[in-house]
Structure 1
């Protein structure tokens, strides 16, 4: 009698942990959106709304008059302007293990970047690339445009 109850409990635990495990993959949260913003993930295109979770390899595209405020787990803020097209290439924020990475490719548009804990703790780990330049961040706030 105890074995079926134990087995049922384990199955229930696995079912409950499934959504939590999937949610653990996110690296950033979209805090606010104005206008049409889309995310492409695994070949599918989704509308972005407040509280949309972003993952590594997500491509975020803002319409010409749209904006989106993205907050990464370390507190880094990336505010996309109209026409922005970015790809989240890499993100690691594991302070207990001393592992950090922040890499975003901006194909076009404009964005305001404000450093979070990664930019302050391990600035050499932050990289923002455009078609014509790579920006190494050293704990600051700046506007970047890619044409």
Structure 2
């Protein structure tokens, strides 16, 4: 058991070291900055013009081009086929990994407990058995 005065000394030392670690040394000087009095933008610079009303979803409809709309529709259909192909590929890869897992050794850990107790009041001529039997397995 640690004495009480040792605990208080240790607490004081911890607080003291924590506070002194945050202290700035006596020779600290604020660095001089060479900042201009005013800032000027470069040539060709223009103000931002946010366009929050722009279409965010079907952006291609802004151009009113039926050919572009048809191409986007075709891409949407193709993307579904691509997603299905990717899902089939992932499934095939999982099946291959499951099949290859039999190439490597396996480790099995088991634990079993069995307890049996015979009654002391049992006669030796009796064919029926009585007693406690407990089996446990993990």
TM-score w.r.t. the length of structure 2 is: 0.23
Determine which structure has more spread, i.e. the larger CA radius of gyration: 2
The structure carrying a bigger helix percent of its residues is 2
Larger strand percent: 1
TM-score using structure 1 length = 0.22
Q: Which has the higher contact order (CA 8 A, sep 6+)?
A: 1
